[in-house]
Amino acid sequence: MISIDEAIEQIKNHIPRPTTRVIPINDALGCYLAGDITAPEPSPRYTSSAMDGFGIVYDTTMLTEQPICLKIIGESAAGKSFAGLVQPGEAVRINTGAVIPAGVDTVIRVEDTSEENGNVLINVIPKQGQDIRHAGEEFDQGSLLLAKNTKLSATHLALLSAVGIGEVAVYDPCKVSVLVTGSELVSCGDEIAPDQIRDSNMIMIAAAIREAGGEVVETIRVEDDAAATEKVIDEAKGDLIICTGGISVGPHDHVKGAATAVGFKEIFWQIKQKPGKPLFFAERGKQLLFGLPGNPVSAFMCFIHYVKPLIGAINGFPFGWPILSARVESAIENRGKRPTMIRVQLKWKEGTGYSIISAEKQGSHMLTSVTGSNGYIILAPGEHVRAETRCEVHCYDSKREIFPLPFSG
């Protein structure tokens, strides 16, 4: 049996080199940028009107002369700008976003005007330069727009489109096969016998892979049968194969034997930890394989601590976890004989910052121990953290809402 740190070292030694590809922005939602994006042009690209109204040449007599009467000499519409030079005493009708014609330095909103015989009457005292959007006022050409590793969202795609970037280089996501083992398993919704178990690992692991930035290429369930397990492992399409169950020492546990039989080389098996002791890691050429334990909580914790950082590394991130320091509300102790990942509820409190309490139920078969927590602390055997001290918390997800966000309609 190896330690948690030794297992992490082994995994780090086997991180595949990330690869990238260039794709249309239409297909890039949720992908991770493979490099910084700088602005190929300034924004706004040209100086334009912020309002519907009239473009004019400001002069100081406007401070006293009311109403101001100017001759309308043309129009600058969005996509159809005014070509001439505007002189003092003249005005050009202008729309929001339209190019400011030469000579114009001020825009009067249409609400502050009236029209008479081809002239515009201005009923307010204008401020020079008002209601004009200046070229480059948002950002200059060459500014950093999006940093490497940004996970592309709807607004990121809009920004790329706005500056004319139609294709981006993104990391190739890790392609993962999910193989769930267990003759006792039935799918949610199927009829269930008294001695059967509903499969919760398949949907959990597939969803967790997607959340981590991986791509699920197949999900397969297999009976506890050596030959059947060998076949699905041998034929798995993913660069990464994640099995659940069948990795312990029972007579119906076939994953390790099957993987070895089809050419996988063991990197490690069994870690001094709770939960998740039987974790198995192996390789065959460029394919990596994890055998996660069958208990859903053990499978999840192994996924979060060992597999998720690997999937992140394939998307160009440093191997690691979102970790923060929090105040311990009431004492937490590891009474067991192995280092233990104790699930905790992390909360943000006004004034005191982050604090944690241990999740009430910690059983490795109790999914509520993970739905009711958002992180974990790792304590050595006999280790005890006292109330009011601080400790490091590994968070399941850097985005999970741990702030008490107000939500109102």
Calpha distance 320→262 (Å, rounded): 31
The tokens describing 114, both together, are 């009236």
Of 178 and 385, the one with the shorter C-beta distance to ligand AMP is 178
Q: Which residue's C-beta sits nearest to ligand AMP? A: 294
- Closer to ligand AMP by CB, 42 or 245: give it: 245
Q: Give which of ligand AMP, Mg ion, none residue 248 binds (C-beta under 5 to 8 Å, depending on kind).
A: ligand AMP
To ligand AMP, the closest distance from the beta carbon of 248 in angstroms equals: 5
CA 186 to CA 193: how far, in whole Å?
9
- 155 burial type by CB count under 10 A (0-12 exposed, 13-18 middle, 19+ buried): exposed
| Nearest CA among 130, 125, 89 for reference residue 107 | 130
- The letter for the amino acid at 5 is D
For residues 225 to 264, the per-residue mask of contacts with Mg ion, x marking binding by CB under 5 A and - elsewhere, is --------------------xx------------------
Position among 213, 294, 312, 339 found at the interface with Mg ion (CB under 5 A): 294
Q: Does 278 bind Mg ion (CB under 5 A)?
A: no
Using the minimum distance from each CB to ligand AMP, give the nearer residue, 62 or 236: 236
Residue with smaller CB distance to ligand AMP, 201 or 287: 201
Between CA 337 and CA 363 the distance in angstroms is: 16
Residue nearest to Mg ion (CB): 245
Q: Which does 201 bind (CB under 5 to 8 A by kind): Mg ion, ligand AMP, none?
A: ligand AMP
Q: Which of residues 127-166 bind Mg ion (CB under 5 A)?
A: none
In angstroms, give the least distance from the CB of 298 to ligand AMP.
8
Read off the tokens for 103: 């000579």
Residue 6, sorted as left (phi over 0), alpha (psi -120 to 50) or beta, turns out to be alpha
CB of 205 to ligand AMP, least distance (A): 8
200 makes contact, choosing from Mg ion, ligand AMP, none, with CB < 5 to 8 Å by partner type, with ligand AMP
Interface residue list for ligand AMP (CB under 6 A): 180, 182, 184-185, 197, 199-202, 244-246, 248, 250, 293-296
Residue 371 CA, chain-centre distance (Å), reads: 20
Name the binder of 296 from Mg ion, ligand AMP, none, CB < 5-8 A by kind. ligand AMP
Find out whether 370 and 382 touch, Cβ atoms under 8 Å. no
Quote the CA–CA distance of 161 and 159 in Å, as a whole number. Answer: 5
Query: Considering CB distances under 5 to 8 angstroms, the limit depending on partner class, which of ligand AMP, Mg ion, none binds residue 355?
Result: none
CB of 246 or CB of 375, closer to Mg ion: 246
55 versus 246: smaller Cβ distance to Mg ion? 246
Rounded to an integer, what distance in angstroms lies between the CA atom of residue 22 and that of residue 15? Answer: 22
Cα pseudo-dihedral 43, 47, 51, 55, rounded to 10: 180
- Nearest distance from residue 196's CB to ligand AMP, in Å? 9
Helix (H) or strand (E) holding 301: helix 296-302
Minimum CB separation of residue 176 from Mg ion in Å reads 20
The DSSP result for 237-293, as a single string, is -SSEEEEES--SSSTT--HHHHHHHTTPEEEEE-BS-BS-TT-EEEEETTEEEEEE-
Q: In degrees rounded to 5, what are phi and psi of residue 360?
A: -60, -50
Candidate residues 42, 173, 182, 375; the one interacting with Mg ion per rule CB under 5 A:
182
Provide the Cα torsion 194, 199, 200, 201; round to 10°: 140
Please report how close the Cβ of residue 185 comes to ligand AMP at its closest, in angstroms. 5
Q: Which is nearer to ligand AMP, 187 or 325 (CB)?
A: 187
Q: Which residues bind Mg ion (CB under 5 A)?
A: 182, 245-246, 294
